[in-house]
Homo-oligomer: A and B are copies of this chain.
Amino acid sequence: MPLEALRYDVTPVGLHYLLIHFDIPAVDAETYELHVGGHVHRPLRLTMHDIESRPKTTFAVTLECAGNGRARLSPRPMSQPWLNEAVGNAEWTGTPLGPLLEEAGLKPGAVDVVFTGLDRGVQGGFDQFYERSLSVANASRDGVMLAYAVNGGPLPPQHGFPLRLIVPGWYGMTSVKWLRSITVTDAPFQGYQQATAYHFREVTGGPGVPVERMRPRALMVPPGFPDFMSRTRFVDPGEHLIEGRAWSGLASIERVDFSADGGVTWQPAELDGTASPFGWRRWTYRWGATAGEHELCARATDAAGNTQPIDEDWNAEGVQNNAVQRVHVVAGAPPGSQAAADSL
């Protein structure tokens, strides 16, 4: 998502970030069936018509890739080289998962709920369909849904057509796309994407800590206009309304601070209300730009006291890097300044 798209509360389709782990599978919605089984009393087979006939819910959810910020780590872990742009806040429509699990009837001793996609590939030496799990308690939470529409339109192929999981608050790898089956287990799920990948490891090959909920982050729309190669920004000296969005999967956003000197001094930004309990929150700051170079930063803090680190926490997979955003801005005339601005 190009960061200027932070200006939209609801991210338009085509600007929302995408992480296609393997390939986008081709799915025929007419013959599609979701299988719900495993450690349940009443296994279910549901067509899209069955699913669309169930109770319906719609709300905005901020989804962020666990690898957002990876490219800022040094040495750079091998995988998708995101800077800060792997995020989006779309309006998802679907049916709540909790009641569906109740209908299937979890047997005593149920532990995890495994979500298996139709997307297949080899990773870590394993031929696999992409799959991730949630504990029974987390799968039954408010807000977890099986979604078949986004921003009021049908799910496009790249977002999981015809059916995907949406798990508010968690990094995006949890919201399994192109759902093929939901399987309840009576033992902890040990699949590759759960037990091996998506761990915060300070040492390559270490046991690490599983990646789960999104850490707090604030991002701003980079002000002014860019230099094509360096991406340095140019603004006129004077007042600028800086706007951005902030979110946390751990608690609600409580404050956002802004710095124009690379994080040496901070000023509180204004926070707008939230439109969705699962969506990001808009913030603004009136910045008086003096002529010269500046490094703009934003830092979010949530109600549980979690805040963003100033520097990167290196880790082997390059996940959960929520170090503060840094935007290099020059207030003053850009090189080769013409009458371009005046002719508007």
Contacts and interface: CB of A to CB of B under 8 A. Distances in A.
Main secondary structure of the interface of A (DSSP, over half): loop
A162 to B, nearest CB: 13
A23 B23 CA distance: 29
A13 interface: yes
B340 A226 contact: no
B13 A127 contact: no
A226 B336 contact: no
A156 B226 CA distance: 21
A222 B157 CA distance: 17
- Protomer copies: 2
B122 A226 contact: yes
A5 B22 contact: no
A198 to B, nearest CB: 13
Contact of A225 (B4, B122, B222, B336): B122
Contacts of A120: 225, 340-341
Contact of A226 (B121, B126, B234): B121
Q: Classify chain A's interface size.
A: 35 or more
Interface in A325-344: 334-338, 340-341
A15 interface: yes
A341 B128 CA distance: 8
Contact of A123 (B22, B158, B229, B338): B229
Interface string A1-35: 01011011000111110101111101000000000
A120 B195 CA distance: 47
Nearest to A153: B153
Contacts of A78: 229
Given A14-B14, A157-B5, A158-B15, A23 B121 contact: no
Interface of A: 2, 4-5, 7-8, 12-16, 18, 20-24, 26, 78, 120-129, 156-159, 222, 225-229, 234, 334-338, 340-341
16 contacts: A2-B23, A5-B24, A12-B158, A13-B14, A120-B341, A121-B227, A122-B225, A122-B226, A122-B227, A122-B228, A123-B229, A124-B228, A125-B336, A126-B335, A127-B234, A127-B335
